[in-house]
């Protein structure tokens, strides 16, 4: 760990292991069906990193798209494209169960020097 710390995600999805090698190293999005269209349409304006750190329902993702179309110059999608995008996001970036406060995550334990 030399320098600028970058948060990223690693995946053990079967899509990668089945192919033997990640078919597209050029992405952060989970390599599930439909990631290409999400990558193509969403990264015109913002990084994939903004997508992968968010989690919401299909309805929630739909509202985010509407908001971007209303206020951020996002283009209108065909019905088919929009369905593909929402299918992907709702499936792969759905809310996860968590309590009112999660257990602390500790990157590394270290000896505190007195």
Partner 1 sequence: MNNPRLVIRGLHELYREDPEQADRLLWGRNDRTTRRGFLKNSGLLAISAALDAAIPFARWMPAGLIPAALADSPVPFRLPGKDPGLIVLNDRPVNAETPPDLLDDRITPASRMFIRNNGLPPETVDPATWRLSVSGESAASTKEYSLQQLKSKFKPVSLQLVVECGGNGRSEFNPPAEGTQWTQGAVGCPLWTGVRLKDVLKDVGIAEDAVYVAYYGVDRHLSGNADKVPISRGFPMRKALENETLIAWAMNGEDLPLVNGYPLRLVCAGWPGSTSGKWLNKLLIRDRVHDGPEMTGYSYRVPCEPVAPGTKVAEMDMCIIESMPVKSIITFPKTGALLKPGEPLPVRGHAWSGDLSVSAVDTSIDFGTTWQPCVLDEAANRLAWQHFSTIVALPGRGYYEVWARATNSEGRMQPMLVPGWNPKGYLNNACHRIAVKVT
Question: For residues 20 and 114, which CB has a smaller minimum distance to partner 1 in the complex?
Answer: 114
> Where does this chain bind partner 1 (CB under 8 A)?
1-11, 25-28, 39-40, 43-50, 53-56, 60, 64, 67, 71-74, 95, 98-112, 114
Q: Between residues 32 and 49, which has the closer beta carbon with respect to partner 1?
A: 49
Q: Tokens 């309805």 — which residue? A: 59
Question: Least CB distance from residue 88 to partner 1, whole Å?
Answer: 16
- Report the nearest approach of partner 1 to the CB of residue 86 (Å): 15
- Rounded distance, CA 49 to CA 32, Å? 16
Decide whether 50 or 83 has the Cβ nearer to partner 1.
50
Assess contact for 19 and 74: CB atoms under 8 A.
Answer: no
Give the N- to C-terminal CA distance of the chain in Å, as an integer: 25
Dist CA 31 CA 13 (whole Å): 8
């Amino acid at each position: 760990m030399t320098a600028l710390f970058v948060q990223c995600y690693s995946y053990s999805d079967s899509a990668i292991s089945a192919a033997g090698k990640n078919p597209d190293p050029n992405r952060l999005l989970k390599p599930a069906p439909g990631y290409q269209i999400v990558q193509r349409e969403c990264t015109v304006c913002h990084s994939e990193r903004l997508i992968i750190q968010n989690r919401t329902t299909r309805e929630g993702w739909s509202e985010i798209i509407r908001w971007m179309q209303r206020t951020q110059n996002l283009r209108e999608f065909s019905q088919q494209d929009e369905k593909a995008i929402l299918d992907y996001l709702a499936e792969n970036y759905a809310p996860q169960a968590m309590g009112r406060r999660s257990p602390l995550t500790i990157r590394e334990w270290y000896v505190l020097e007195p």
